[in-house]
């Protein structure tokens, strides 16, 4: 991996907001470093220059004083040096008559840099900064040619160094504060800049979840209006297209209903007069009747699907006893499929009250039973179980489990079974070709409308196990039926068909139906 | 022999429905528009009227409303659109029940039979009920309010009797659907809701704040005396 690509990867991983924040922080750091550097060096120059000027001035004053004293009398030189008015921290060194005199034992001719001594011996005044005994020093050397002497004064710059250190620390702290401030500013600015993007994201998510009527409000920001209007145009087009398709399906189904009504009524009349027909005609009538029934179911299913697609599917909720409802639904299923299937009821589920759309619930159970009868050798048993308890320990859902006698369904097929007209590997096992191809997808849609979920597991002892979990109260659980403009097809299926979760509680006692 | 009037603009549906209902033992007459139906109703009164909601000219809803203005004859609306709003609007217009196309002839016949049933008298219960200023005489089929007769459809009357006979008890929608409409478990609860609303406008002093026919959320309805 080459470095630039790694860099790009890092940038991508960081995300725009983190990157903007980092950029602001780095910018603030660079700026504050430059500012601090300039400030430090300017201050240092200025402080040193002033200190040195003062020192130099004093040294010259003292030198002339010493020169005068030397010229007038040869008194005690040490005393003379001590009497010189010195600044605190300054020490004097005098070289006269080949002898060195100093005011302090901390200085001597050896303290003085050789270069300075040489220059001053040469007859020129000079200054030099140096380090002695670990502290910065400033020495001024003044030749006193009239008395053949040289006067030196050594000033300690420790105080200046300490001031500069304090300054540097202050500047460093200020830089740090600036960096943090810069980062915070960057974070705020990026969040503020990206807030409209978050709005667009929310809207996109809402649309993906079926809220086709969702639009973005750009406010009065000219930069964002372009994005918002483009987004809204896209959403409107999408909505129109989906609604057009849904309307088409709905219209087709409706148009089919009139001829179906005629066919249905006419076939009923023929059936009533069946005995008057020849055996061949009777067989033809049976075929006609059977496929008319299938045709009718198909139109019903298509219409049902189109209502989901158009978002006009609504729940008509009733309070029911789930067990009674399951039994009624089984009774409503085709007799071959599930009329005398045992229903095992967990005692805890028997006491539950369920708020559901009865018609839809009945379709769910009937379609599952029908599916088992068509493709899996019939239903082995039906279970009614309480859902897993919620955080407060109360059961908030009920599970209806339909187990079949088939060979089971491989995991790779499980989710796809809920797709419309899905054939897949089941195609080869189609025992009777009179399904509508929409049964399981309608199961998923009905369940989703209730805010529940449906999935497939392996039944203990072989076969497939369809589990439908419904909240006891779709409205109470905070999940409402999608409002107008909601879409019930593509994306949401993923939310409905979920992978198997841990085994539900087993029934302790069972009641056969 | 009961007489059924079919109002349906699709000629083939009309003909096939006629055949099927005649097989079930009904006398059938049919018309193709609301206007014709209203004219026909002035001459004779059928026992049941079937109204297709999608009619040219005055539509099924309006036809239903106009029929109701002058008659308490049982009405079944026939809808191709089982969408919530059509069904409820049809019931609000005064229909007693509805069927969705494509229906099975037997199902339609069963609905008609249920509407023609008389209120099932319960031997133990009295034949007269009163609440507020409303009096219900079950056997005579008469409801009066402050002495004046209130015109109820047969279905409304059956519903009122069922509630009054069980005054003070909460009756579930299923129970009412079974007793009043003859539906099994999967009747449409909206039938009950719309009829209760309509009944309230006839017997409650303030239908928006009912005193007698109360809704028990999640359970059903009860009549309090």
Question: What is the C-alpha to C-alpha distance for residues A344 and A385, in angstroms, rounded to an integer?
Answer: 8
CATH architecture label of A314-496: 2-Layer Sandwich (3.30)
B128-223: CATH topology: Arc Repressor Mutant, subunit A (1.10.10)
pLDDT of residue B32: 92
Which residues of chain A have a CB within 8 Å of the CB of B178? none
* Candidates B20, B81, B186; nearest CB to A265: B20
The alpha-carbon gap from B187 to the nearest alpha carbon of chain A, in Å, equals: 9
The alpha-carbon gap from A490 to the nearest alpha carbon of chain B, in Å, equals: 22
pLDDT of residue A353: 82
Taking residues A104-114, what's their average pLDDT? Answer: 79
pLDDT band at A286 (very low <50, low <70, confident <90, very high): very high
A307: cis peptide before it, omega within 30°?
no
Question: What is the C-alpha to C-alpha distance for residues A139 and A30, in angstroms, rounded to an integer?
Answer: 37
pLDDT band at A491 (very low <50, low <70, confident <90, very high): very low
Chain A residues in contact with chain B using a Cβ-Cβ cutoff of 8 Å = 254, 257-266, 268-269, 272-273, 296, 299, 303, 307, 312, 314, 316, 318-319, 324-325, 328, 332, 355, 358-359, 362
**In chain A, domain spans:** 3-163, 222-308, 314-496
At CA A275, angle to CA A271 and CA A281, rounded to 5? 70
Which residues of chain B have a CB within 8 Å of the CB of A314? 84
Q: What is the pLDDT of residues B51-73, one digit of tens each?
A: 998 888 899 999 999 998 888 89
What six digits make up the tokens of A201?
């994201």
Question: What is the C-alpha to C-alpha distance for residues A504 and B76, in angstroms, rounded to an integer?
Answer: 46
* Candidates A265, A296, A316; nearest CB to B19: A265
pLDDT band at B218 (very low <50, low <70, confident <90, very high): confident
Which residues of chain A have a CB within 8 Å of the CB of B15? 262
Taking residues B86-95, what's their average pLDDT? Answer: 90
Q: Are A382 and A342 in contact (CB under 8 A)?
A: yes
Q: Are B220 and B171 in contact (CB under 8 A)?
A: yes
The answer to whether residue A160 scores a pLDDT higher than 50 is yes
The answer to whether residue A510 scores a pLDDT higher than 80 is no
pLDDT band at A506 (very low <50, low <70, confident <90, very high): very low
Is the pLDDT higher at A501 or at B126? Answer: B126
Q: What is the pLDDT of residues A61-101, one digit of tens each?
A: 888 888 888 887 666 777 777 777 666 778 888 888 778 88
> To probe the interface with B, which of A261, A273, A298, A316 has the most B CB atoms within 10 Å?
A261
What six digits make up the tokens of A39?
């400030």
Residue A47: how many other CB atoms lie within 10 Å: 17
- Cross-chain residue pair B219–A319, CB shorter than 8 Å: yes
**In chain B, domain spans:** 3-116, 128-223
The answer to whether residue B37 scores a pLDDT higher than 50 is yes
pLDDT of residue A487: 35
Percent of the residues in chain A that have a pLDDT greater than 70, as a whole number? 84
Q: What is the pLDDT of residues A170-208, one digit of tens each?
A: 999 988 998 898 889 888 988 887 777 778 888 888 888
Taking residues A212-235, what's their average pLDDT? Answer: 82
Q: Where do the H-state alpha helices sit in A209-357?
A: 222-272, 279-310, 322-332, 335-338, 347-350
Interface A:B, Cβ pairs < 8 A: 82
Look up the pTM and report it.
0.60
Q: Where do the H-state alpha helices sit in A73-100?
A: 77-83
pLDDT of residue B85: 78
Chain B residues in contact with chain A using a Cβ-Cβ cutoff of 8 Å = 10, 12-13, 15-17, 19-20, 23, 80-84, 101-106, 172-174, 184-186, 188-190, 218-219
The answer to whether residue A503 scores a pLDDT higher than 50 is no
What is the chain B residue with the closest CA to A262?
B13
- For strands A453-458 and B75-79, give the pairing: unpaired
Which residues of chain B have a CB within 8 Å of the CB of A263? 16, 102
A131-145, A201-215, A357-371, A412-426: least confident range: A412-426
What is the chain B residue with the closest CA to A299?
B102
Taking residues B16-20, what's their average pLDDT? Answer: 92
- Cross-chain residue pair A263–B81, CB shorter than 8 Å: no
Taking residues A361-387, what's their average pLDDT? Answer: 86
The answer to whether residue A134 scores a pLDDT higher than 50 is yes
The SS3 call for residue A400 is strand
> To probe the interface with B, which of A255, A264, A366, A483 has the most B CB atoms within 10 Å?
A264
Question: What is the C-alpha to C-alpha distance for residues B52 and B101, in angstroms, rounded to an integer?
Answer: 10
pLDDT band at B106 (very low <50, low <70, confident <90, very high): confident
Q: What is the pLDDT of residues A38-67, one digit of tens each?
A: 999 999 999 889 988 988 888 888 888 888
Question: What is the C-alpha to C-alpha distance for residues A421 and B33, in angstroms, rounded to an integer?
Answer: 40
Alpha-carbon Rg for chain A in angstroms = 48
A479-483, A490-494, B134-138, B196-200: least confident range: A490-494
Residue with tokens 């039906």: A382
Question: What is the C-alpha to C-alpha distance for residues A20 and A188, in angstroms, rounded to an integer?
Answer: 10
Residue with tokens 């915070």: A184
Which residues of chain A have a CB within 8 Å of the CB of B190? 316
The answer to whether residue B105 scores a pLDDT higher than 60 is yes
A137-141, A232-236, A470-474, A486-490: least confident range: A486-490
pLDDT of residue B125: 65
Taking residues A267-288, what's their average pLDDT? Answer: 93
Tell me phi and psi for residue A437, to 5 degrees.
80, 0
Are B3-116 and B128-223 equal in CATH topology? no
pLDDT of residue A74: 63
* Candidates A254, A261, A332; nearest CB to B103: A261
Long-range contacts made by residues B161-166, C-beta under 8 angstroms, separation at least 24? Answer: B161/B119, B161/B129, B161/B136, B162/B119, B163/B213, B163/B221, B163/B222, B163/B223, B164/B129, B164/B131, B164/B136, B164/B223, B165/B122, B165/B125, B165/B129, B166/B222, B166/B223
Question: What is the C-alpha to C-alpha distance for residues B160 and B131, in angstroms, rounded to an integer?
Answer: 11
Q: Mapped to the 3 state alphabet, what secondary structure does B23-76 carry?
A: HCCCEEEEECCHHHHHHHHHHCCCCEEEEECCCCCCCHHHHHHHHHHHCCCCEE
The alpha-carbon gap from B26 to the nearest alpha carbon of chain A, in Å, equals: 14
- Cross-chain residue pair A328–B189, CB shorter than 8 Å: no
Which helix (H) or strand (E) covers residue A402, if one does? Answer: strand A397-404
pLDDT of residue A327: 84
At CA A385, angle to CA A382 and CA A387, rounded to 5? 135
pLDDT band at B26 (very low <50, low <70, confident <90, very high): very high
Question: What is the C-alpha to C-alpha distance for residues B220 and B63, in angstroms, rounded to an integer?
Answer: 31
A3-163: CATH topology: Beta-Lactamase (3.30.450)
Which residues of chain B have a CB within 8 Å of the CB of A296? 102
pLDDT of residue A219: 72
pLDDT band at A499 (very low <50, low <70, confident <90, very high): very low
> To probe the interface with A, which of B4, B16, B52, B102 has the most A CB atoms within 10 Å?
B102
What six digits make up the tokens of A84?
């010189």
- Cross-chain residue pair A258–B80, CB shorter than 8 Å: yes
Taking residues B119-127, what's their average pLDDT? Answer: 60
Q: Are B78 and B20 in contact (CB under 8 A)?
A: no
pLDDT band at A414 (very low <50, low <70, confident <90, very high): confident
Question: What is the C-alpha to C-alpha distance for residues B180 and A426, in angstroms, rounded to an integer?
Answer: 45
Taking residues A356-380, what's their average pLDDT? Answer: 85
Where are the strands (E) in B64-207, listed by range? 75-79, 97-100, 128-131, 134-137, 142-145, 148-150
Q: Are B79 and B98 in contact (CB under 8 A)?
A: yes
| Nearest residue to A453 (alpha-carbon basis) of A393, A379, A513, A396 | A396
Q: Are A175 and A182 in contact (CB under 8 A)?
A: no
Which residues of chain A have a CB within 8 Å of the CB of B172? 319
- Cross-chain residue pair B101–A260, CB shorter than 8 Å: yes
Which helix (H) or strand (E) covers residue B199, if one does? Answer: helix B189-203
The alpha-carbon gap from A214 to the nearest alpha carbon of chain B, in Å, equals: 24
- Cross-chain residue pair A257–B101, CB shorter than 8 Å: yes
The alpha-carbon gap from B53 to the nearest alpha carbon of chain A, in Å, equals: 13
Taking residues A133-156, what's their average pLDDT? Answer: 86
The answer to whether residue A362 scores a pLDDT higher than 60 is yes
Is the pLDDT higher at A106 or at B178? Answer: B178
The answer to whether residue B12 scores a pLDDT higher than 60 is yes
A222-308 — its CATH code?
1.10.287.130
> To probe the interface with A, which of B6, B53, B101, B175 has the most A CB atoms within 10 Å?
B101
Q: What is the pLDDT of residues A424-450, one digit of tens each?
A: 555 555 445 567 778 889 999 999 999
Residue A96: how many other CB atoms lie within 10 Å: 18
The answer to whether residue B46 scores a pLDDT higher than 60 is yes
Q: What is the pLDDT of residues B132-164, one digit of tens each?
A: 888 888 888 889 988 888 888 889 998 999 998
CATH architecture label of B3-116: 3-Layer(aba) Sandwich (3.40)
Q: What is the mean pLDDT of chain A?
A: 79
The alpha-carbon gap from A411 to the nearest alpha carbon of chain B, in Å, equals: 35
Mark A372-402 as b/e (b = at least 16 C-beta within 10 Å): bbbbbebbbbbbbbbbeeeeeeebbbbbbbb
The answer to whether residue A494 scores a pLDDT higher than 60 is no
């Amino acid at each position: 991996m080459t470095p630039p690509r790694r860099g790009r990867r890092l940038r991508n991983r960081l995300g725009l907001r983190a990157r903007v924040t980092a950029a602001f922080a780095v910018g603030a750091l660079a700026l504050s470093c430059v500012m601090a550097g300039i400030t430090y060096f300017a201050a240092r120059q200025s402080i040193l220059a002033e200190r040195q000027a003062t020192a130099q001035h004093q040294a010259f004053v003292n030198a002339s004083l010493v020169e005068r004293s030397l010229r007038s009398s040869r008194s005690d030189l040490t005393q003379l040096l001590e009497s010189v008015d010195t600044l605190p921290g300054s020490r004097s060194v005098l070289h006269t008559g080949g002898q060195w005199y100093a005011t302090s034992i901390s200085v001597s001719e050896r303290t003085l840099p050789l270069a300075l001594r040489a220059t001053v011996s040469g007859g020129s005044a000079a200054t030099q900064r140096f380090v002695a005994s670990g502290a910065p020093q400033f020495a001024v050397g003044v030749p006193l040619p009239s008395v053949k002497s040289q006067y030196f004064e050594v000033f300690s710059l420790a105080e200046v160094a300490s001031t500069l250190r304090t300054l540097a620390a202050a500047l460093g702290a200020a830089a740090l504060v600036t960096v943090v401030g810069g980062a915070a500013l960057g974070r705020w600015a990026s969040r503020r800049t990206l807030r409209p993007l978050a709005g667009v994201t929310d809207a996109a998510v809402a649309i993906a979840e079926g809220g086709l009527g969702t639009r973005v409000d750009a406010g009065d920001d000219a930069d964002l209006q372009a994005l918002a209007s483009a987004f809204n145009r896209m959403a409107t087009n999408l909505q129109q297209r989906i609604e057009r398709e849904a309307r088409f399906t709905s219209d087709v189904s409706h148009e089919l209903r009139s001829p179906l009504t005629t066919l249905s009524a006419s076939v009923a009349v023929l059936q009533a007069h069946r005995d008057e027909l020849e055996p061949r005609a009777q067989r033809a009538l049976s075929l006609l009747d059977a496929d008319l029934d299938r045709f009718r179911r198909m139109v019903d299913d298509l219409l049902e699907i189109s209502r989901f697609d158009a978002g006009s599917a609504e729940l008509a909720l009733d309070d029911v006893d789930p067990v009674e409802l399951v039994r009624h639904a089984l009774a409503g299923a085709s007799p071959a499929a599930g009329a005398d299937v045992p229903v095992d009821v967990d005692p805890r589920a028997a006491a539950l009250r369920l708020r559901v759309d009865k018609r839809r619930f009945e379709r769910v159970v009937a379609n599952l039973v029908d599916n088992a009868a068509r493709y899996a050798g019939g239903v082995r048993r039906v279970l009614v179980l309480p859902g897993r308890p919620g955080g407060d320990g109360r059961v908030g859902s009920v599970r209806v489990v339909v187990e079949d006698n088939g060979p089971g369904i491989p995991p790779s097929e499980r989710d796809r079974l809920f797709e419309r007209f899905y054939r897949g590997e089941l195609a080869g096992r189609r025992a009777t070709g009179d399904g509508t191809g929409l049964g399981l997808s309608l199961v998923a849609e009905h369940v989703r409308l209730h805010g529940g979920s449906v999935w497939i597991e392996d039944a203990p002892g072989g076969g497939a196990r369809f589990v439908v979990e419904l909240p006891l109260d779709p409205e109470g659980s905070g999940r409402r039926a999608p409002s107008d403009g909601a879409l019930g097809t593509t994306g949401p299926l993923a939310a409905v068909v979920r992978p198997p979760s841990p085994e539900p509680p087993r029934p302790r006692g069972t009641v056969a139906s | 022999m009961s007489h059924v009037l079919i109002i349906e603009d699709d000629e083939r549906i009309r003909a096939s429905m006629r055949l099927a209902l005649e097989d079930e033992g009904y006398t059938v007459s049919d018309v193709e528009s609301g206007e014709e139906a209203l004219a026909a109703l002035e001459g004779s009164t059928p026992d049941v009227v079937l109204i297709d909601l999608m009619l040219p000219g005055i539509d099924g809803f309006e036809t239903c409303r106009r029929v109701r203005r002058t008659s308490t004859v049982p009405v079944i609306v026939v809808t191709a659109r089982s969408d919530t709003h059509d069904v409820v609007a049809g019931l609000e217009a005064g229909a007693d029940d509805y069927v969705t196309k494509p229906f099975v002839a037997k199902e339609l016949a069963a609905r008609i039979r249920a509407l023609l049933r008389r209120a099932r008298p319960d031997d133990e219960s009295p034949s007269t009920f009163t609440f507020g200023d409303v009096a219900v005489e079950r056997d005579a089929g008469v409801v009066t309010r402050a002495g004046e007769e209130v015109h109820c459809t047969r279905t409304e009357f059956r519903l009122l009797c069922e509630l009054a006979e069980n005054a003070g008890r909460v009756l579930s929608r299923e129970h009412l659907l079974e007793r009043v409409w003859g539906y099994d478990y999967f009747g449409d609860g909206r039938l009950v809701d719309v009829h209760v609303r309509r009944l309230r406008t006839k017997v409650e002093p303030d239908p928006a704040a009912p005193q007698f026919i109360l809704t028990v959320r999640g359970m059903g309805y009860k009549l309090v005396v």
